[in-house]
Amino acid sequence: MRSIPFIPTLIALSIGLVAAQVQAVELDIPAQPLDSALTDFAEQAGIRLLYDASLTRGMSGGSALKGDYSVSDGLQRLLQGSGLTFSIGSDGTVTLIPAPASGDVLELGAIDVSGQLDGRADLPSHYAGGQVARGANIGVLGNQDMQDVPFAFSSYTSELIETRQAQTLADVLASDPGVRQSYGFGNFSQVFVVRGFQLYSDDIAFNGLYGILPRQIISTESVERVEVFKGANAFLNGVAPGGSGVGGAINVVSKRAEDTPTRRFTLDYASDSRVGGHLDLGQRFGEDNRFGVRLNLAQREGETGIDDEHSRFGLASLALDYRGERLRLAADIGYQKQRVNEGRSVVYLTTTGSTSTLNGKVPDAPDSKHNYAQPWSWSQLEDTYGMFSAEYDLSPSWTAYVSGGGKYTRENGVYASNYVYGADGAARIGRLYSPLDQETLSLATGLRGELQSGSVSHRVNLAANGIWQEKRNAFESTSAANREEGNLYDGSPVSEPSASTPSGDLHDPDTTGKVQNKSLAVSDTLGFFDDRVLLTLGVRRQTIGADAWSAASGARTSNYQESITTPAYGLVFKATDYLSFYANRIEALQQGPTAPNSAKNSGTMFAPYRSKQTEAGVKLDWGRFGGNLSLFRIEQPQGVTDGNGYYAVDAEQRNRGVELSLFGEPLTGLRLLGGATWTQAELRGTAGGSNDGNQAVGVPEFQFNVGADWDVPGAPGLSLNGLLLRTGGQFVDSANDYSIPAWTRVDLGARYKTRLDEHTVTFNALLENVADKNYWASANGGYLTQGAPRTFKLSATLDF
């Protein structure tokens, strides 16, 4: 790479290396923010324009361009005063780079960015508006563009995370119309509902690998993207260790050092008195910026918007990477700890027995700030994790890869649960103490490549996955007879209930469970008619192994070992450059059940649950605005004891639905993100047919989101944003006797970006649940999770 004087004539000569760049093109680009102007320019000029989105964020463009310009002249006008210049690759790709400090040289010979718009060569590019990406990691298929795969997915970027001031994964996924969140049954783990089925936080992947992330609450300080795959996914990702994810999968992508150094510090505040700080440092160095380091440190503590609920959170993560010509390496190391005192937990309903006076009515949700936890309750979650990955290009068309990692979890807490039996909020308060240690190892390796067979192209993938997990826990709980009397509404503390004899050693728990899942997969995506028709065929052979021991006696209670093959079929037809149709048939897997002791065939083990999905849809890509409309059906087997006392897998939950997602920047300065989902979750084959045709527990018939982010005209750097969530009613029980009503939540926010002493400063303000609505947010799991109160969030970010 050599320096050449910054003379327009020489720029034109260098661009002339690619004939298409020499010709004048007709442009009609209005005055607008720089990133929007560049998107218009690339589309109208017909060029491939790559750049790190952080270089242009918040910048205003130059004057409008209307008329005939060469590519070089047009770019010079757009970039005037921005501190940016450009280089030309041997393939004609134009890459934006910071102008040299001297201001009089242009570096030619391109930086190899491999086709990404955001400075990450390993990630698909941003879509217009920057809130979502136009591609995601689709398991064994690798990174794919949205128009090339026969599946529905969403990929949320760091820009959306920052705009929403998202501190956990749930804050990010509030923007997804197909996902809703609840809590776990005992503590404060985040559980997500995708297409009507649970996805535990234990089963969320990290850079494509299961079993690495913190298992209950996943923070976002070190997260670059959150990718949501919609639908069954056993072929794509293998069986998750927790066995959930029938309706979808989530993959978290970690931050990496970018070509532009990152020096960022954020102070944040959330009502009532939660204060925190986040330091984000990133740097590339060495020849061609081959080595990268990204460090994230965060600390947050204080009382939340719920009365007397106090939380403390800390995180440290380090990401290292190397990108050579053929070899790419990466490693992530992290530590996260969170403690919650007097955390408001879920609520159980006691609907049977002589004391119950509910009579088919769910008590109204208490005041949004009211805390019905107990002063003696607390929860502490601590995770240490790490992973590595390596990719090597065997040839220009074939790449071998391997990744592996592990996690150690220590979890502790005393949980207080409300068992409400009276319409007036009368409840009995239970207590659970359950220390847990968990160790996980995970490994994936494979080979992917491309080849040509006559007029048919092939994208071939071979993969092997394995996960090994060991759990050690003990517990002591309060029997129903020893629960203390309380009330959901008055919040008066009760004495800590007496516990039963502990099951296991509370100070040094023994092993109570092991999971060993292994699989092999192969796939081929065949391209016909210049890849306008893509047919994906795949198969994965999976072995599910699980052992369990009694915490009290140490005796083995189960030994499960089954193998099964899951196929996948998908078809994409690109009718036009902006419209494509797709269909798929794919499956999900879960460990099969063991007949309970009450059944005549007690102890009988059944094959893994094979949930089958059929889906068809259409995808729209207008460059600045896109969307996905799909129709799906998922059939999940379920066990049931028949009238003769035998247990069999004869029941089923069948979810049929329509899903719509919309995203992009249809008008300059207006970014939209929203959609809707309608789901009919029907129970079939229930015991005696008593619940046949009923709606499944915790699945709303409809839910929709409308999110907008708008740059205020005449006020450079100022943006207003809002999010509306609407969720339908949900049944609490399979008999559909108890239900919670539909609810609506509105969030409003503002963002202002300016410069102080040559440094960029961004102020963010957000008011969640503006109307301070009191509502039950979820009945998922058969218990109630209350929505958060009105919460004010404020942050200030300095780029130094």
Q: Is the torsion defined by CA of 74, 76, 80, 83 positive or negative?
A: positive
- What is the 8-class DSSP label of residue 74? H
Q: Given a cut of 70, is residue 21 above it in pLDDT?
A: no
In the block, tokens 């319409």 appear at 423
What's residue 118's pLDDT? Answer: 40
What's residue 23's pLDDT? Answer: 56
| Of the candidate ranges 41-45, 696-700, 739-743, the one whose mean pLDDT is the lowest | 41-45
What's residue 480's pLDDT? Answer: 85
Question: What are the C-alpha distances in Å from 714 to residues 33, 78, 229, 669, 779?
Answer: 12, 19, 39, 12, 46
Three-state secondary structure call for residue 54: helix
Q: How far apart, in whole angstroms, are the C-alpha atoms of residue 387 and residue 376?
A: 37
Query: DSSP assignment of 710-757, as one string?
Result: EEPTTSTTEEEEEEEEEE--EESSTTS--EE--EEEEEEEEEEEEEET
Residue type, 384: T
CB count within 10 Å of CB 614 equals 17
Ramachandran category for residue 260: left, alpha or beta (phi over 0 → left; psi -120 to 50 → alpha): beta
How many angstroms separate the most distant Cα atoms in the chain?
91
Phi, psi (5° rounding) for residue 362? -85, 130
- Structure tokens that stand for 636 in this block: 């999940």
Q: Given a cut of 90, is residue 589 above it in pLDDT?
A: yes
Per residue in 472-482, pLDDT (tens digit) is: 999 999 888 88
Question: Where residue 5 falls among pLDDT bands split at 50, 70, 90?
Answer: very low
Q: Given a cut of 80, is residue 467 above it in pLDDT?
A: yes
Mean pLDDT of the chain: 90
Phi, psi (5° rounding) for residue 55? -70, -30
What's residue 15's pLDDT? Answer: 34
Is 720 or 114 the better-scoring residue by pLDDT? 720
What's residue 2's pLDDT? Answer: 37
Using an 8 Å Cβ cutoff, are 541 and 503 in contact?
no
Q: How far apart, in whole angstroms, are the C-alpha atoms of residue 411 and residue 382?
A: 6
Q: How far apart, in whole angstroms, are the C-alpha atoms of residue 721 and residue 482?
A: 50
Which residues does 268 contact at the CB level (< 8 Å), separation at least 6? 165, 167, 275, 276, 277, 278, 300, 793, 794, 795, 796
Which of 13-17, 45-49, 119-123 tops mean pLDDT?
45-49
Structural element, H or E, at residue 69 = strand 65-69
| Of the candidate ranges 61-70, 339-348, 365-374, the one whose mean pLDDT is the lowest | 61-70
Phi, psi (5° rounding) for residue 166? -70, 125
Q: How far apart, in whole angstroms, are the C-alpha atoms of residue 193 and residue 173?
A: 11
**Half-sphere exposure of residue 433: CA atoms within 13 angstroms, side-chain side:** 17
Using an 8 Å Cβ cutoff, are 795 and 268 in contact?
yes
Using an 8 Å Cβ cutoff, are 664 and 657 in contact?
no
Which residues does 7 contact at the CB level (< 8 Å), separation at least 6? none
| Of the candidate ranges 62-71, 270-279, 457-466, 564-573, the one whose mean pLDDT is the lowest | 62-71
Per residue in 396-425, pLDDT (tens digit) is: 999 999 999 999 999 999 999 999 999 999
Q: Given a cut of 80, is residue 46 above it in pLDDT?
A: no
Listed in order, strand segments (DSSP E) in 291-377 are 291-303, 310-323, 327-341, 347-349
Q: How far apart, in whole angstroms, are the C-alpha atoms of residue 174 and residue 401?
A: 33
Q: Is the torsion defined by CA of 9, 15, 19, 24 positive or negative?
A: negative
Average pLDDT over residues 341-353: 93
Q: Which domains does the chain have, with CATH numbers?
A: 3-107 (3.55.50.30), 135-254 (2.170.130.10), 262-361+368-423+441-477+503-799 (2.40.170.20)
What proportion of the chain, given as a percentage, has pLDDT over 90? 77
**Half-sphere exposure of residue 126: CA atoms within 13 angstroms, side-chain side:** 27
What's residue 681's pLDDT? Answer: 98
Q: Given a cut of 60, is residue 617 above it in pLDDT?
A: yes
What's residue 500's pLDDT? Answer: 80
Q: How far apart, in whole angstroms, are the C-alpha atoms of residue 87 and residue 197?
A: 48
Q: Given a cut of 70, is residue 662 above it in pLDDT?
A: yes
| Of the candidate ranges 56-70, 362-376, 644-658, 762-776, the one whose mean pLDDT is the lowest | 56-70
Q: Is the torsion defined by CA of 433, 434, 437, 440 positive or negative?
A: negative
- Measure the CA dihedral 39/45/47/48, to 10°: 0
Q: Given a cut of 80, is residue 561 above it in pLDDT?
A: yes
In the block, tokens 């947050």 appear at 300
In the block, tokens 């890509």 appear at 621
Q: Which of 87, 46, 83 is nearest to 62 (CA)?
A: 83
Three-state secondary structure call for residue 202: helix
What's residue 89's pLDDT? Answer: 62
Q: Given a cut of 50, is residue 109 above it in pLDDT?
A: no
Question: Where residue 103 falls among pLDDT bands split at 50, 70, 90?
Answer: very low
Q: Which of 547, 559, 466, 467 is nearest to 510 (CA)?
A: 547
| Of the candidate ranges 50-54, 290-294, 782-786, the one whose mean pLDDT is the lowest | 50-54
What's residue 498's pLDDT? Answer: 83
Q: Which of 212, 209, 214, 176 is nearest to 192 (CA)?
A: 176
| Of the candidate ranges 50-54, 197-201, 300-304, 643-647, the one whose mean pLDDT is the lowest | 50-54
Q: Given a cut of 60, is residue 579 above it in pLDDT?
A: yes
- Structure tokens that stand for 112 in this block: 């190899």
Q: Given a cut of 70, is residue 18 above it in pLDDT?
A: no
Q: Given a cut of 60, is residue 17 above it in pLDDT?
A: no
Question: Where residue 659 falls among pLDDT bands split at 50, 70, 90?
Answer: very high
Q: Given a cut of 60, is residue 108 above it in pLDDT?
A: no
Runs of H (alpha helix) within 361-503: none
Q: Given a cut of 80, is residue 701 above it in pLDDT?
A: yes
What's residue 772's pLDDT? Answer: 97
Q: Given a cut of 50, is residue 10 above it in pLDDT?
A: no
| Of the candidate ranges 489-498, 730-739, 743-752, the one whose mean pLDDT is the lowest | 489-498
**Half-sphere exposure of residue 283: CA atoms within 13 angstroms, side-chain side:** 5
- Structure tokens that stand for 101 in this block: 């400090």
Q: Given a cut of 80, is residue 389 above it in pLDDT?
A: yes
Structural element, H or E, at residue 556 = strand 556-574
Is 748 or 497 the better-scoring residue by pLDDT? 748
Q: Given a cut of 50, is residue 173 above it in pLDDT?
A: yes
Q: Which of 167, 190, 188, 189 is nearest to 180 (CA)?
A: 190
- Structure tokens that stand for 796 in this block: 């200030």
Question: Where residue 44 falls among pLDDT bands split at 50, 70, 90?
Answer: confident
Ramachandran category for residue 454: left, alpha or beta (phi over 0 → left; psi -120 to 50 → alpha): left
| CA angle, residues 241, 244, 250, in degrees to nearest 5 | 90
The pTM is what? 0.86
Q: Given a cut of 70, is residue 119 above it in pLDDT?
A: no
Q: Judging by DSSP bridges, how do beta strands 94-98 and 49-50 pair with one another?
A: parallel
Q: How far apart, in whole angstroms, are the C-alpha atoms of residue 526 and residue 461?
A: 12
What's residue 605's pLDDT? Answer: 87
- Structure tokens that stand for 726 in this block: 């609407």
